[in-house]
Structure 1
């Protein structure tokens, strides 16, 4: 029985290798390998590490996959990501998203275009097991860009359950000509 199983496995491996060779002969690209991401459970043990991980996990160069497992791990079960800004008609709007909704609406764009979000200043208020963080950010398409294409402030609310930090909400607004970032939220 073992010999039969080994023969079957070798046959499957041989067929797979032959298929890859045929793709190379025809000039075809082999199927893109998917990256298996892991979750770093230490990323939520401190407030600083949680915020750092939030920025790191959504940032990446063009065509660089994001670790969406790690992203989801940062958030409480009912967490919201809330974008604010003006629509095409100039009316102020907010859009409420779960972490999964954010991935669906923005994930592909982040990978196709490149998106590096860097924190440049932080104000933190903590009371008991809750924290409010005003985190000023700059956004780039690549780490090599000389200047950001966008800036703004993330208002991040977090909860510490005694074991880790959970992001409860991320509510953000981009800087505009009419609403520049105040000096107290810059370095």
Structure 2
């Protein structure tokens, strides 16, 4: 019984230390709104065959966060799918590595009220950094919380641009 108790204490201490190590290691990535958004785009981006830092990806998100893609379903109706960060990794992680994926923010509008912020982040997606034309564009609606210590991604709700629904000029870069 004593051995089990000692082992439990060691495992708990190790997990606490590991959590603190991640917090110390990733603190700069969530210290400002800009750093958080920049890290979000960087961590999912990479060349074909390049593994992503999923620990850092998960670190960006509040424990109750959701990733919510929206679009037309097979019946042609608009719908939303709700995923945790782990669900996103399971559903998209392999595809990102196998195909190469670089998501680049091209414009941002930000609204903040005290500790909550809503960002409309217009993006372009490329398979390779050297691609001249994106294969996809859209808007990420990102809700964030600053708890006084760091920024947390609360939700990302996004929609891809379509021929029928192009991105409004308001959310495109001004030349």
TM-score range, shorter chain: 0.7 to 0.9
Q: Which residue of 2 aligns with 1:181?
A: 167
Correspondent of 1:59 among 25, 39, 45: 45
Distance 1:77 1:105 in 2: 19
Q: Map 1:99-110 onto structure 2 (within 5 A).
A: 99-110=85-96
1:127 aligns with 2:106: no
Deviation digits for residues 43-97 of structure 1, max 9, x if unmatched?
0000000000000000000000000000000000000000000122211111000
| The one of 6, 26, 29 aligned to 1:43 | 29
Alignment gaps of 5+ in structure 1: 1-37
Considering only aligned residues, what root-mean-square deviation do their CA atoms show, in Å? 0.9
For residues 59 and 72 of structure 2, the distance between their equivalents in structure 1, rounded to whole angstroms, comes to: 30
> Which residue of 86, 95, 115 corresponds with 2:81?
95
User: TM (normalized to structure 2)?
Assistant: 0.84
Partner of 1:23: none
How far has the Cα of 1:40 moved from its partner? 2.2
Q: 1:172 aligns with which of 158, 162, 166?
A: 158
State the alpha-carbon separation in 1 of the partners of residues 168 and 88 from structure 2. Answer: 27
Deviation at 1:134, TM superposition (A): 0.2
Number of aligned residue pairs: 150
Larger displacement relative to structure 2 (88-97 or 118-127): 88-97
Runs of 4+ in 1 over 6 A off after TM superposition: none
Larger radius of gyration: 1
Q: What residue is the counterpart of 1:136 in the other structure?
A: 122
Give the 3-state SS of the residue equivalent to 1:85 in structure 2: strand
1:15 match: none
